[in-house]
């Protein structure tokens, strides 16, 4: 096996799947020399052990590869270890639960419906740019009570930040994102408070260890909410569109069964694993699959590989809409499990319903190739399609 493994180059899905298989079949953990050296946890059982052992595999030195260093400050609470992690997370956790996501569904559906209405009938479009990317960005802005006309500005800053983390080359995206997060805090702190709880006021009023959050801590939490679900939800939505292109009749049969749509959403998250890799740092000596690990060493958690592990999933390379059980780690696991998973699924349900209602045909545009992202979140970044509206199909 190669001495290096660069997650920041563009891998095709076939290349990535082959590499995951090689790492799963390798005796012990694969070790690579780039980025200061790191091991890869690629098998499902190894990944789960890492995720469920935060006292051994820590997040407080950064969960990106390479680590953030001077490019950005740490993300809170994603890059905080127990016991403080729970205190930070509990500040916003009540606003991201299943009940809260259900309450947001009409607003999310309205955003999705507006985006669906903008898709031209039967014309070539990039599905990612038309719906998969703007939907999670607008939902994040809605969560933070920020006007939606900031969506394009925010998208550029997030893309620049990803580039900075991958290359260590500062382009100003991280600094601009920090400034934007501070402006969100300022706008809320200056406004008159009402009795309606929202994410930003919860952060402004938050306490950790018996003290109020510092301004930098508040900024970090707002920033993470802004960036945390953009790429991941976008990749999942693009894979949903691909599935719909082959299964539109089956989708119509599911249209009024929310539980089946949710099962499909879970399976698409498993299949696409949009949070493809995250880093952990070894905090104490430990053995994993026969490999001895020492404090300070990096372990790259390969979520996507775990979700394709045939030891855990039958037909792992296929989307099985009613797969049960489906113990995937697409949303993570343990204390750091994705806090926005219910809101992500609400977006997928809104997109599913909007697309099934609006279009009689959904097809991949085979004349133009899809594109794929690199880095920690790998998946479809551009998806050429044609979609024909139900009320125009017989014209």
- Nearest CA to 305 out of 53, 24, 10, 9 is that of 24
pLDDT of residue 50: 98
User: In this prediction, what percent of the chain has a pLDDT beyond 70?
Assistant: 94
> Residue 208: beta bridge partners?
211
- Nearest CA to 58 out of 36, 77, 79 is that of 79
Class of residue 264 by CB neighbours under 10 A (exposed 0-12, middle 13-18, buried 19+): buried
Instruction: Report residue 213: phi and psi, to 5°.
Output: -65, 145
Tokens, residue 41? 């946890």
Are 278 and 23 a contacting pair, CB within 8 Å? no
Count of CB atoms situated within 10 Å of the CB of 283: 19
- In angstroms, how far is the first alpha carbon of the chain from the final one? 56
Tokens, residue 19? 């590499």
Low-confidence ranges of the chain (pLDDT < 50): 195, 393-395
Distance CA 39, CA 20 (A): 13
pLDDT of residue 394: 44
CB environment 302-313: b (16+ within 10 A), e (fewer): bbbbbbbbeebb
pLDDT of residue 236: 98
Class of residue 99 by CB neighbours under 10 A (exposed 0-12, middle 13-18, buried 19+): exposed
Locus of tokens 């980025």: 35
Distance CA 332, CA 316 (A): 17
Domains contained in the chain, CATH given? 13-392 (1.10.630.10)
Distance CA 307, CA 205 (A): 38
Distance CA 113, CA 117 (A): 6
Task: Count, in order, helices (H) and strands (E) of the chain.
Answer: 14, 14
Give, in order, the Cα–Cα distances in Å from 296 to each of 46, 62, 76, 370. Answer: 18, 12, 21, 39
pLDDT of residue 168: 67
- Nearest CA to 284 out of 55, 68, 108, 125 is that of 55
Helix (H, G, I), strand (E, B) or coil at 80: coil
Is the pTM here over 0.85, yes or no?
A: yes
Task: Give Cβ neighbours of residue 275 (< 8 Å, ≥ 6 apart).
Answer: 232, 303, 330, 331, 332, 338, 376, 377
- Nearest CA to 307 out of 41, 53, 43, 64 is that of 43
pLDDT of residue 198: 87
- Nearest CA to 8 out of 160, 166, 228 is that of 166
pLDDT of residue 235: 97
Tell me the residue ranges of DSSP E strands in 157-251. 207-208, 211-212
Give, in order, the Cα–Cα distances in Å from 74 to each of 39, 161, 337. Answer: 22, 13, 17
Are 116 and 108 a contacting pair, CB within 8 Å? no
């Amino acid at each position: 096996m190669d001495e290096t493994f660069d997650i920041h180059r563009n891998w095709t899905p076939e290349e990535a799947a082959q590499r995951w298989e090689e790492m799963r079949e390798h005796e012990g953990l694969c070790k690579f020399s780039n980025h200061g050296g790191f091991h890869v946890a690629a098998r499902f059982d190894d990944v789960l052990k890492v995720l469920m052992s935060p006292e051994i595999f820590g997040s407080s030195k950064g969960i990106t590869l390479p680590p953030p260093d001077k490019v950005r400050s740490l993300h809170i609470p994603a890059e905080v270890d127990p016991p403080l992690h729970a205190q930070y997370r509990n500040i916003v956790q009540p606003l991201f639960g299943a009940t809260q996501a259900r309450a947001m569904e009409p607003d999310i559906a309205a955003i999705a419906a507006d985006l669906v209405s903008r898709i031209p009938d039967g014309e070539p479009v990039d599905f990612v740019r038309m719906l998969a990317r703007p939907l999670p960005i607008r939902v994040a802005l809605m969560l933070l009570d920020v006007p939606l006309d900031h969506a394009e500005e925010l998208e550029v800053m997030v893309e620049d930040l990803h580039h900075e983390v991958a290359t260590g080359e500062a382009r100003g995206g991280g600094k601009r994102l920090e400034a934007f997060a501070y402006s969100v805090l300022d706008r809320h702190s200056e406004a008159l408070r009402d009795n309606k709880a929202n994410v930003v006021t919860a952060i402004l009023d938050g306490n950790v260890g018996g003290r109020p959050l510092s301004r930098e801590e508040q900024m970090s939490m707002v920033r993470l909410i802004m960036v945390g679900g953009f790429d991941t939800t976008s990749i999942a939505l693009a894979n949903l569109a691909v599935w719909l292109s082959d299964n539109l009749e089956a989708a119509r049969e599911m249209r009024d069964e929310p539980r089946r749509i949710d099962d499909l959403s879970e399976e698409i998250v498993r299949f696409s694993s949009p949070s493809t890799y995250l880093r952990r740092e070894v905090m104490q000596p430990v053995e994993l699959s026969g490999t001895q690990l020492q404090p300070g060493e990096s372990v790259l958690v390969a979520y996507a590989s775990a979700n394709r592990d045939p030891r855990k999933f039958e037909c792992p390379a296929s989307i099985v809409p009613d797969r049960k059980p489906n113990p995937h780690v697409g949303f993570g696991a343990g204390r750091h499990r994705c806090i926005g998973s219910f809101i992500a699924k609400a977006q997928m349900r809104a997109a599913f319903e909007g697309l099934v209602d609006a279009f009689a045909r959904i097809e991949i545009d085979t004349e133009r190739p899809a594109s794929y992202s690199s880095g920690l979140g790998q998946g479809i970044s551009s998806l050429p399609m044609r979609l024909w509206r139900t009320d125009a199909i017989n014209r």
